[in-house]
Copies of this chain bind each other. A is one copy, B any other.
Amino acid sequence: MSDLVPDKILSLLKKKESYISGEDISAQLNISRQALWKHIQDLKDSGYTIEAVPHLGYRLEASPDRLFEFEVSRGLNTKTLGKKLFYFDTLTSTIDMAMDLGVKGASSGTLVLAESQTKGKGRLGRSWFSPKYKGLYISLILRPDMLPTQAPILTLLTAVSICEAIKVVSGLDTRIKWPNDILINNKKLCGILTQVVSETDKIDFVIISAGVNVNNDKKALTATATSLKEHKKEEICRVSLLQEILRRLEENYLVLEKKGAGQILEKWRQHNTTLGRRVKVYCQHKHNEGEALDIDSDGGLLLRKDNGLIEKVMAGDVVHCR
């Protein structure tokens, strides 16, 4: 349980289906009745519906769909990922905040999340539409003991982890388009962006950012985008999804550290929708075209070109030709 008093109050309220007296709460948490009253007001201001009845006490009627630290922390059960969490109602971009924290030495596992972004970022300076309370907009700081050239595997690992978490929480099946788009029915559900701050032979830190369309209504999405709600036909609990993503990320990250990339790559292959297709890969000022054969141990995509030669591409925009 978190050390935060509001969290402790909520825990007590959630334990009891009927009323719990203010006297009881104050005594258990060793706070004054006045302090309790103030915390209850704050919780109401944050969107919790709490009924207060004289002589009976307080009762929690409804919780808002918010990613407050004490909601995400409760029952998270990770060792490092998300244990340190910076929550914002609105940010220009979680990436900017995470970069700032990373440069200042934030520990591995630090998570930045926002309920909305005014300048949400995608790959290569593109934007990510980030409407309030509809999606997950997160940036995670990691400090892996890796060479900079090994970092692309983290993108694949993140894609796999998010697919797994979505399956657990919503039951929905998703597919990964190399390297880092998560799709349902060929429409984009989630984008992942990996940024690396490094010396030539040492990663200082990595920021893994993801935007997931969770409860967006179909009519608010572009023709090429989708949300979990569109397919599940009901709202998904964003707190549960975020927690499961963090757990899966931590689990897969530990596997990578202990056993290398093999198991991650195998999971990626199972979830992918790129291999076996004819694709065009646009990277910088040129593009490659061919059959997507496999991914290499470093996360690169192996292409068999029309001249028979096999070429590895490490990054780019993939277009599935058929």
Contact = CB atoms under 8 A, between A and B. Distances in A.
Contacts of A315: 147, 199-202
Interface stretch (A82-90, A188-196, A255-263, A303-311): A188-196
Residue in A145, A148, A284 with the greatest tally of chain B CB atoms within 10 Å: A148
Given A151-B200, A197-B197, 10 more contacts: A96-B103, A99-B103, A145-B284, A147-B314, A148-B196, A195-B204, A196-B198, A199-B315, A201-B283, A201-B314
A197 B195 contact: yes
A100 to B, nearest CB: 7
B200 A152 contact: yes
Contacts of A148: 148, 196
A203 B96 CA distance: 16
Interface in A129-152: 145, 147-149, 151-152
A201 B100 CA distance: 22
Interface string A7-33: 000000000000000000000000000
Interface in A296-322: 314-316
Contacts of A284: 145, 147, 201-202
Interface string A134-172: 000000000001011101100100000000000000000
Interface residues of A, number: 30
A124 B199 contact: yes
Nearest to A105: B96
Interface in A180-239: 193-202, 204
Nearest to A154: B200
B194 A199 contact: yes
Given A148-B148, A314-B149, A124 B195 contact: no
A197 B151 CA distance: 12
Copies of this chain present in the complex amount to: 2
A210 to B, nearest CB: 14
A124 B145 CA distance: 12
A314 B200 contact: yes
Contacts of A193: 199
Nearest to A180: B200
Nearest to A100: B103
A198 B195 contact: yes
Nearest to A125: B202
A201 B99 contact: no
Given A148-B148, A149-B314, A284-B147, A200 B155 contact: yes
A235 B193 CA distance: 50
Nearest to A103: B99
A199 B99 CA distance: 13
Contact of A200 (B194, B197, B198): B194
A38 interface: no
A201 B198 CA distance: 14
Contacts of A195: 197-199, 204
